[in-house]
Structure 1
Amino acid sequence: MNQLLFLALHATPLALFYIEINLLDWALCAGLYGLRMFGVTAGYHRYFSHRAFRTGRFFQFCLAVLAQSAAQKGVLWWAANHRRHHAASDTIHDVHSPVQRGFWYAHLGWWFGNDHNKTDLSLVKDFSAYPELRWLDRYHVLPFLGLALITFWIGGWSGLVVGFLLSTLLLFHATLAINSIGHMWGGRRFSTRDASRNNPVLALLTLGEGWHNNHHYFPSAARQGFHPLEIDVTYVVLRFLALTGLVYDLKPLPDRIMRDMRAPHSGNPAAL
């Protein structure tokens, strides 16, 4: 997302006062938010960044296309920067640490800086081996534009503004809130080397990504809500897709995680 698109998205709420809005527009907004959030959480994050499950080449491409329709840059760029984040979480080498650079840098500043514009293919050699993913990463705006046209065809101008642009804006900030809020406010079930937090509000907004302290304790798990009461919609959908055969080998939590959850630990005990 470049600066021009960023400004255009944030002007979207002003347009709501000048157009007639109907139920279809709000249905498109909710549907596209949830669908693309799944693309980001299951695709960009759990699959391309952490390989928390396996899938075939075709569905792998579909996940990348869906995620890129969220206007959060290319699949290889996203995964490379996220892997860099985990390698140096909340240190001076972290891509977006609020501990090191403050809330606004972690939320937005790093996104528009020049330090992280290019895709470091050396960090994603496993996926950069696929030419279709390299092509998609290079032309990352195409899925976004394609979905915009489809939404306009379905809902007209009001569908485009409310259904597509508003949902993109909400999706953008909810995702980046994991980098900022997810390392500042919430409970800490596990003692990790960073400041990651479990935040139930973020978990609801991001289909399960808000259980961020859990995730940093065991990043490769397909699930991030470790406790039965920790809602993780992304994992529920992945379990359903596993029944269809589209995805498989979902990485489980090892038994030691359950023991660690029951054992006393340092840090602030999570009440989540």
Structure 2
Amino acid sequence: MAFINRVLEPPTYGWSDMSGNLAKPTPKQIFAEFFSRLNVFKNKKNWLSFLSWMMIVVLAPFLLLFIFKYFTFKLLLAAFFYSMIVMGTHGTIWHHRYCTHGAYQFSNKFWRFFTQNLTLKIIPEEIYAVSHHVHHALSDQPGDPYNAGGGFLYCFLADVNHQPINRNMSEADYAKCVNLMKHTGVNVNTYAQYQNWGTLANPTRTLISVALSWGFWFTAFYLMGGIGLACALFGAAGFWAVGVRTFNYEGHGKGEDKRRDGVDYNRNDMSINQLWPGIVAGEWHNNHHLFPKSARSGFKPYQVDGAWYYIKFMSVIGAVKSYNDSKKQFYQQYCNAQVVPIHEEPIIVIQEEVVVSA
């Protein structure tokens, strides 16, 4: 069995059935697995999954305070912008394009730290990045941790049921797992510590980093707009953290083939380009599956890509030293395009249309 097939902790209901097809658990099985893996009293190795959902629980009162005590339409607009655009785009910039795919490289550790902490720390890098490598290797196949064919709950609760790393890796496999994360700057456990805690992340360092992140941002929001703004944006962050768990179910057609000719060019899996995730977070998912290591996934003129704009800006000011941009390759391979360089701005000729690329 290849490393990518064994790096994640398998659920009790397994990845596949006796025929080799996706094992589709019942809602009862999914919830049983979920609560079992959250139980830190049963097994302390459940600590990271428990922490991931406890952060949402802790953020819920901020949302309620905003709704019932501090609500104004101005704060609602701020909360919408922060959750949908700021948190969504940052997730694409940091967790997706950098931590998982290494689509760009920072010029130094300061800019990496700066980008990492642009928003509240909510999603542990380990849970996202390692499992996302598996998602790309086994997309829509048994073993894909958020296979849309398993249903909504299969994807929504995947961060607990399917995404944690295997707790029984050999030292050699653990070293490979560490290698997947080394560029992120996340301090990881030694193999002996991993055997004790079952994670790459160290509990003490993780809790301190979350406390510092939340303390800094609550203070910053309070100074910018008082307790009302702080509650609105903290509540919005929690709202986003729940909503983002629905993305891969939607982004892979809810288990159906919803790919469209002329829109979704990747036909190796069920990923689709969606207008809303693309606009608010730069997540043109089918494009991303075509070129996963590209720092840009909004290739067509209408495909707004805020994550790419940030990465490009950071490159201009010297904070990013290199990046991969697959836009030219996309047009050449999938749009029958001929690229004719003029000065420093390439012109892309597609049939009889002329589009000047950014």
Q: Residue 251 of structure 2 contacts residue 274 of structure 2 at CA under 8 Å; is this kept in 1?
A: yes
> Partners in 2 of 1:35 and 1:115 — Cα distance?
24
Residues 53 and 5 of structure 1, relative CA distance in 2, 3 Å threshold:
closer
Residue 271 of structure 2 is aligned to residue 196 of structure 1: yes
Unpaired runs of 5+ residues, structure 2, are 1-50, 168-173, 189-199, 337-358
> Partners in 2 of 1:161 and 1:37 — Cα distance?
19
Residue 70 of structure 2 is aligned to residue 20 of structure 1: yes
Residues 64 and 194 of structure 1, relative CA distance in 2, 3 Å threshold:
same
Residue 104 of structure 1 and its aligned partner are, at CA, apart by 2.3
Higher relative strand content: 2
Q: What does residue 221 of structure 2 align with?
A: 151
1:252 alignment partner, one of 322, 325, 330 = 325
Residue 193 of structure 1 and its aligned partner are, at CA, apart by 2.1
Q: Percent identity?
A: 21
Q: What does residue 64 of structure 1 align with?
A: 116
Residue 240 of structure 1 and its aligned partner are, at CA, apart by 1.6
Please list the CA deviations of residues 229-254 of structure 1 after superposition, one character each: whole Å capped at 9, or x if unmatched: 11111112221221111113220216
Residue 115 of structure 2 is aligned to residue 42 of structure 1: no
Using the size of structure 1 for normalisation, the TM-score is 0.79
Q: Indicate the larger mover: 49-58 or 116-125.
A: 116-125
Residue 247 of structure 2 is aligned to residue 178 of structure 1: yes
Residue 16 of structure 1 and its aligned partner are, at CA, apart by 4.0
Equivalent residues in 2 for 1:52-201, closer than 5 Å: 52-55=103-106, 56-66=108-118, 69-73=120-124, 75-99=125-149, 101-106=150-155, 108-113=156-161, 116=164, 122-125=176-179, 127-128=181-182, 133-134=186-187, 137-138=201-202, 139=206, 141-142=210-211, 143-166=213-236, 168-184=237-253, 187-188=259-260, 189-201=264-276
SS at match of 1:240: helix
Residues 4 and 81 of structure 1, relative CA distance in 2, 3 Å threshold:
same
Q: Residue 61 of structure 2 contacts residue 235 of structure 2 at CA under 8 Å; is this kept in 1?
A: no
SS at match of 1:249: strand
Residues 76 and 113 of structure 1, relative CA distance in 2, 3 Å threshold:
closer
Q: Residue 296 of structure 2 contacts residue 308 of structure 2 at CA under 8 Å; is this kept in 1?
A: yes
SS at match of 1:194: coil
Please list the CA deviations of residues 141-198 of structure 1 after superposition, one character each: whole Å capped at 9, or x if unmatched: 23245423443454444223212222x1342244333311111165442233211011
Residue 26 of structure 1 and its aligned partner are, at CA, apart by 4.1
> Partners in 1 of 2:304 and 2:240 — Cα distance?
18
Amino acid at match of 1:58: F
Residue 262 of structure 1 and its aligned partner are, at CA, apart by 1.9
Residue 59 of structure 1 and its aligned partner are, at CA, apart by 1.1
Unpaired runs of 5+ residues, structure 1, are 264-272
> Partners in 2 of 1:4 and 1:79 — Cα distance?
20
Q: Larger Cα Rg: Structure 1 or Structure 2? A: 2
Q: Residue 26 of structure 1 contacts residue 163 of structure 1 at CA under 8 Å; is this kept in 2?
A: no
Q: What does residue 231 of structure 1 align with?
A: 304
